[in-house]
Amino acid sequence: MSYEVEVKDLRDSATAARSAARQVARITPGSHLTSAGTGMPGAESVAVMVRVGSAWTTELSDWARAARGYARTLDTNADQYELDDEAARDAFGPIVQGR
């Protein structure tokens, strides 16, 4: 049994993960909840909106951080596959067609 890894696909996936992380990091839905609360001073729901907004901010920040870590892992794996392929070429020499 064997498998083949497309290093370009790993790198493309890392790029996509970084892009998603950048996009998610810019989202601030919690700020809308917090600002909505200023229009209802003294309302009990304001505290809840602040907590929900804070939780959303934390969740999105954690997701973006995880996506950046995933991208780094994909890049590290792609680098290692390239090094392994190079070492195999050096160890076994060029493959001759038809043999």
pLDDT (tens digit per residue) in 41-77: 777 888 888 888 889 999 999 999 999 999 999 999 9
pLDDT at 96: 58
Residue 50: phi and psi, rounded to 5, are: -65, -45
Q: Residue 37: is its pLDDT beyond 60?
A: yes
Q: Residue 93: is its pLDDT beyond 70?
A: yes
pLDDT band of residue 36 (cuts 50, 70, 90) is: confident
Mean pLDDT of the chain: 88
The domain locations on the chain are: 7-86
Beta-carbon contacts of 57 under 8 Å, excluding residues fewer than 6 positions away, are 28, 29, 30, 31
3-state DSSP of 34-50:
HHHHCCCCCCHHHHHHH
Q: What is the DSSP letter of 2?
A: -
Residue written as tokens 């810019």? 26
Query: CB of 25 within 8 A of CB of 61?
Result: yes
pLDDT at 4: 87
